[in-house]
Structure 1
Amino acid sequence: MTEKQASRTAVLVCQGRAVADGRLAVGRFGDPVAQRFLLDDERAAVERARTGTVPQAMRPRMEYEMLNATAAVLATRTVLIDDAIGDRHTPQLVILGAGLDGRAWRLPDLDDVVVYEVDQPASQQDKRERAGDLTPVAKELCWVPVEFGRDELGPALAAAGHRTDTATTWIWEGVLPYLTAAQVDSTLSAVAACSAPGSRLIATYPLPSRLAAIGRLGMRVYSMLSGDRDPLANEPHISTWTTGEMAAILAGHGWTVTADHDLYEASRTLGIPASRSRFVGDSRVVVADRA
């Protein structure tokens, strides 16, 4: 992902939430804001996926299946993350690699919370243009452009008003697969330095899996056949983690894992129909607290 190119994965993730809204885990999941961040052609694809009628032609059927499979994953992990946010209310919320996340616009419990959205500059500018005059429900929304691997997170957050003496909830959703182990470690060091006691970190991470690699290959094949740009072309998956490895690296930075959820099992509890193979590429949500 280059500095001059906004994330295409962020669009796919947003489309997945829009497809799921009002259809999956009703009463537990909802994201009416997602549609607002999409451009006309992206929204049209969502509407086709929401019909419930499987197209017969190959190209539209592949699009339909991909978006509905993405919706199952996104609805599941969104419920887990939103629950973890609500379980430990903090005055500050930082979203690392925010993409087209809509929490600052859709979670009413954030009305007394300052939300900091951190993302690479091109993606953040793209989002600000998409958001237009959409009004956040959060107490305050602060944009923090950071080129990960080049810019320092702590000073950028401090310049935006983030306080290191106040508890913070951190969301790191759908980002770890694109980082090396060294980048994950350095980011956790920066996060730890900015986290007062009572802070919480919520992250998604992928387990090692051959099926996940096959799934990414399928994404490339779909992109070639459909004529669309592969959303992973400039955002390759380069790291995976076992549950033990994740707990160890978090502990090394002062975090205690309080929950580590299997997405597939959570989807079954929520009544979301999907196969286990759909979840192996981004299969866990970890919650860790700072005493």
Structure 2
Amino acid sequence: MKTRPASRTAVLVCQGRAAADGLVAPGRFHDAMAIALLHDDERVPVDRVRGGGPPQGWAQRAEFEMLRATAEVMVARTIVIDAAVRSRLSPQLVILGAGLDDRAWRMSELAEVDVFEIDHPASQQDKHDRVGDLSPCARSLRFVPVDFSGDRLEDALVPAGHHRAVPTTWVWEGVVPYLTRAQVAATVAAVDRCSAPGSRLIINYQSPSLPAAVGRMAARAMTTFVRQPNVWAAEPRRSSWTAAAMRTLLTNHCFPVADDSDLLTVAARLSIPVKQRRSLQSGESRSPTARIDAA
């Protein structure tokens, strides 16, 4: 596997959840575990956002606005994916590109579920260090190292104890945009091969959007201007998908789409207040649930 640092976008996503915990959509969104996965210096911008007042200075203000927008995206995205997981619990839950996902620690519904976290070894080592002795609430938790750019998913999952004959819920959140279309298609094919009847795939992807692309360019330019690290430097965007193209890909691999909504629609449906409408409509935009119907 290629040597690379742990994912920095995973940290930003975790910071977004921590910043929103109990403040954005209270009663609907809670993630008290997120802050425990952050280092002390990573908690500083979280505390600023939770305090509500924009800081002085270009550098801190740029970081503040990026994290505040991320928090809004994460609320809608987390709620809709959690609800899909809860709607029909499978004996196995596989989280693809897990990053600092904390569902195995915060979702009590997983008490009878075996959870498999798939990620690059560098990111998994970073997570091991952050988790420490925190105990998951899932029945079991297994870390499975996989590099989506070259490894075969099934070659890693089977030795880890995943059973192909048992229904699985697959969560693929916040990863697709960082893979090429060929890598995405290969992963969906692998998920198909590893799925028994009754399995489901919950996948988050980005749809093509010129405003979103311009927004990302502006964000990168701002981080350069204020001499802040660019979290996307080592993790550039590599693919986007129209709803029709994603539906075709999933359907061709035995995953008919049950639902596909952009996150702005999700937020409206859940009465979640939104300030960054563009981020939810065309940024980390869509989260369809697909399933293999039970035989």
- After TM superposition, the score normalised by the length of structure 2 is 0.96
Q: Per the alignment, in what secondary structure is the counterpart of residue 95 of structure 2?
A: strand
Matches of 1:239 and 1:204 in 2, distance apart?
12
1:160-190 Cα distance to aligned partner (Å, 9 max, x none): 1000000000000011101111111111111
Q: Per the alignment, in what secondary structure is the counterpart of residue 53 of structure 1?
A: coil
Give the drift of 1:56. 3.2
Residue identity in the other structure for 2:279: R
Q: Please say which of residues 220-229 and 203-212 is displaced more in the overlay.
A: 220-229
Matches within 5 A, 1:122-201: 122-201=122-201
1:239-265 Cα distance to aligned partner (Å, 9 max, x none): 111111111000000001001011012
Give the drift of 1:212. 1.3
> Is 1:275 aligned to residue 291 of structure 2?
no
1:90-144 Cα distance to aligned partner (Å, 9 max, x none): 0000000000000000000000000000000000100010101111010000000
Q: Please say if residues 97 and 120 of structure 2, whose CA atoms lie closer than 8 Å, have aligned partners that are also in contact.
A: yes
Give the drift of 1:88. 1.4
Matches of 1:244 and 1:96 in 2, distance apart?
22
Where does residue 3 of structure 2 map in the other structure?
A: 3
Where does residue 287 of structure 1 map in the other structure?
A: 289
Residue identity in the other structure for 1:274: K
Where does residue 266 of structure 2 map in the other structure?
A: 266
Q: Please say if residues 48 and 55 of structure 2, whose CA atoms lie closer than 8 Å, have aligned partners that are also in contact.
A: no
Matches of 1:198 and 1:3 in 2, distance apart?
37
Q: Please say if residues 37 and 100 of structure 1, whose CA atoms lie closer than 8 Å, have aligned partners that are also in contact.
A: yes
- After TM superposition, the score normalised by the length of structure 1 is 0.97
Matches within 5 A, 1:12-31: 12-31=12-31
Give the drift of 1:2. 5.4
> Is 1:68 aligned to residue 61 of structure 2?
no
Q: Please say if residues 154 and 194 of structure 2, whose CA atoms lie closer than 8 Å, have aligned partners that are also in contact.
A: yes
> Is 1:99 aligned to residue 99 of structure 2?
yes
Q: Please say which of residues 103-112 and 225-234 is displaced more in the overlay.
A: 225-234
Matches of 2:148 and 2:164 in 1, distance apart?
20
Matches of 1:149 and 1:262 in 2, distance apart?
27
Where does residue 53 of structure 1 map in the other structure?
A: 53
Residue identity in the other structure for 1:101: D
Matches of 1:256 and 1:24 in 2, distance apart?
33
Matches of 1:225 and 1:15 in 2, distance apart?
22
Where does residue 242 of structure 1 map in the other structure?
A: 242
Q: Please say if residues 192 and 254 of structure 2, whose CA atoms lie closer than 8 Å, have aligned partners that are also in contact.
A: yes
Residue identity in the other structure for 1:277: R
Matches of 2:229 and 2:62 in 1, distance apart?
14
Following superposition, which runs of at least 4 residues in structure 1 exceed 6 angstroms of deviation?
none
Q: Please say if residues 263 and 285 of structure 1, whose CA atoms lie closer than 8 Å, have aligned partners that are also in contact.
A: yes
Give the drift of 1:275. 3.0
Give the drift of 1:34. 0.5
Give the drift of 1:223. 2.0
Matches of 2:273 and 2:94 in 1, distance apart?
28
Where does residue 224 of structure 1 map in the other structure?
A: 224
Equivalent residue pairs, number: 291
Matches of 1:225 and 1:37 in 2, distance apart?
29
Matches of 1:56 and 1:146 in 2, distance apart?
42
Q: Per the alignment, in what secondary structure is the counterpart of residue 111 of structure 1?
A: helix
Matches of 1:70 and 1:103 in 2, distance apart?
18
Give the drift of 1:234. 1.0
Identity %: 51
